[in-house]
Structure 1
Amino acid sequence: MLPAALPPRELSPPARGPHATPGTHPAAVTGHDASVDFEEHRPMLLGLAYRLLGSMWDAEDVVQEAWLRWQGADRDGIREPRAFLVTVVSRLALDQLRSARAKRESYTGPWLPEPVLTSEAGPLDTAELRDTVSYATLHMMERLSPPERAAFVLREAFELPYDEIAGIIESSVVNARQLHHRASTRLAQGRDRFQPTTEDHSRLLVRFMDAAKGGDLDALTELFHEDVVSWNDGGGKVRAALRPVSGRGKVLSFLSALTARYAFTDVGLMDVNGHPALWTRSMEGDQVVMVNVRDGRIQDIYTVLNPDKLVRVHKT
């Protein structure tokens, strides 16, 4: 359930920063202008909420609530709609994230983010926007506290100054800097500095797909990092490993058992979260497989089988 309405003081955009316009007088916004302003920013707001929540279902709920608050707000004193809406969406998403953490801890098996088609992930016109929506980054951001996640996303993806971030998360500027630094440090520990190109990523996935279908353990051994981890999200809806499978030997045995038991059909590539991903189908249902690459090898395998999380990447 979405949080109750924010107090009026929380609906004011930050007083300083590039969004403020010193020396100007705010003008009233008509109902038509309100709709135009909001629709102009909707893709960006969805992208922001999705990065903070890892769920497009929840992100859409947050953006809808922001629209209702935008309609009901006294916009005479709002200098910049974008700053106002970023503040509202960020705070709503933070409240939702805090309440969702307990549910994710009691989730059946590993909780993985909801994958989305790249075309529906919002603007990706900078390297930072693309990186912060990547599946591996979203998964690693689950390790962060809600304020750390917000500071990281607002700074890295949306390039907000620290004083605006501090206003949004209601902390000091010094603390906002510290939160961003801690988040960046923790995420850097699990990310490869040099990511493969889209073409290299696709070739790696095709090699993985062919080796897995053919039961070629030697080829898979060459593709996997020594400490590879397989994450599987069935959400209690379909059969899936209830714990991460860690280590090259265990992952090889796990995949061998799967391919021996199930016939996978309709295998192909699709563009998910800014990177290539595999779509497969078996008697157990559909699944989307994404990988995180480190040192040129597969470090993490993310398999989403929960049908509720496949609606936006569904293939017929």
Structure 2
Amino acid sequence: MSTQAHAERFTLLRPLLFTIVYEILGSATESDDVLQNSYLRWAEVDLATVRDTKSYLAQLVTRQALNSLRTSARRREDYIGPWLPEPLLIDENDPSADVLLAESVSMAMLVLLETLTPDERAVFVLREVFGFGFRDIATAVGKSVTTVRQVAHRAREHVQARRKRFEPFDAADTARITEQFLTAAATGDLDGLLSLLAPDVTWTADSGGKSTAARRPVVGAEKVAAVLMSLFRPERLADLRMERVNCNNTPAIVINGERMEGVFLIEMADGKIINFYAIRNPDKLLAVAAPRRISR
């Protein structure tokens, strides 16, 4: 088979393969590296021996993603402050069209998946999000089918016990709440800001020690409001540009100056803001330069 045949099959499935790897790693840039390395291996495969291209490639990228995840896990032990996944700029017109896909790449879900072991995370993603069979998953993670069933059960229970109700955001409500939030923060309207925040709202900032950010999560409406009032004060934003985008199927604000200052994801539930995820580490902002296609 020609090199073109390899490229065509891989390109057709690339959005799916990227989504699998991103959900296992939580990093778009590392996912790109995994896909590149996986393609080099794929290019050497005799296509006559491949019965199911989707399953074969999913297994291939999963093995590479697990190797990358185990390596990066050691680096994260020395990470300064909270570690958050890289924000993913979504190239989708209707993020609510596939609720399961939308939830699976949400920042809240990715943060939750960080509490799983590498094998649990890969098995959960392949089974619960993408619906692969236990035999295919067993091949991907190098475990027996019996073991994979046990891992899947354990991971599912862990996630279900900790996940919050996911609400695909309504475009009109999201635009309204986001506009009210920006107006209140920029004008110093503390009461207006507090009215938008859930009592136990949480602010989590990821800087890796490379920019100014709280080293621990800030919890509570009044404390988070104080952080927001400081961050969005008019004199600070005078030379900056704010853009509203969709990151991880969550409303987000990108702040740009001479360089990108940060990406701030806003998680809402029941008409209130319940979480802010502030990514300030410049290394994690590179992936926001261009939108990505995701698929399952």
Pairwise TM-score range, normalised by the shorter structure: 0.7 to 0.9
Distance 1:298 1:173, change over 3 A: farther
Superposed CA offset, 1:65-120 (max 9, x none): 11111112233322122211110100110111111112123112211111122118
1:200 to 149, 173, 176: 173
Superposed CA offset, 1:100-154 (max 9, x none): 112123112211111122118xx99632222211222222211221112112211
Is the partner of 2:195 in helix, strand or coil? helix
Q: What is the identity, as a one-letter code, of the residue corresponding to 2:125?
A: V
Is the 1:262–1:282 Cα contact (8 Å) retained in structure 2? no
- Paired with 1:43 and 1:124, the residues of 2 have a C-alpha distance of 18
The reply on whether 1:247 has 2:215 as its aligned counterpart is no
Give unmatched runs, 5+ long, in structure 1.
Answer: 1-28
2:125 to 153, 158, 169: 153
Distance 1:146 1:256, change over 3 A: same
Count of paired positions: 285
TM-score, scaled relative to structure 2 = 0.86
2:261 to 286, 302, 305: 286
Aligned to 1:307: 282
CA displacement at 1:62 relative to structure 2:
0.5
Is the 2:169–2:250 Cα contact (8 Å) retained in structure 1? no
Q: What pairs with 1:42-121 in structure 2 (closer than 5 Å)? A: 42-119=14-91
Q: Which has the higher contact order (CA 8 A, sep 6+)?
A: 2
**What is the CA RMSD across the aligned residues, in angstroms?**
2.5
Larger Rg: 1
Is the 2:250–2:266 Cα contact (8 Å) retained in structure 1? no
Is the partner of 2:131 in helix, strand or coil? coil
Distance 1:35 1:260, change over 3 A: closer
- Paired with 2:19 and 2:241, the residues of 1 have a C-alpha distance of 30
Is the partner of 1:280 in helix, strand or coil? strand
Is the 1:238–1:305 Cα contact (8 Å) retained in structure 2? yes
Q: What pairs with 1:29-40 in structure 2 (closer than 5 Å)? A: 29-40=1-12
Q: What pairs with 1:190-229 in structure 2 (closer than 5 Å)? A: 190-229=163-202
TM-score, scaled relative to structure 1 = 0.81
- Paired with 1:130 and 1:284, the residues of 2 have a C-alpha distance of 29
1:296 to 266, 271, 295: 271
CA displacement at 1:283 relative to structure 2:
8.3
Q: What is the identity, as a one-letter code, of the residue corresponding to 1:274?
A: N
Is the 1:41–1:82 Cα contact (8 Å) retained in structure 2? yes
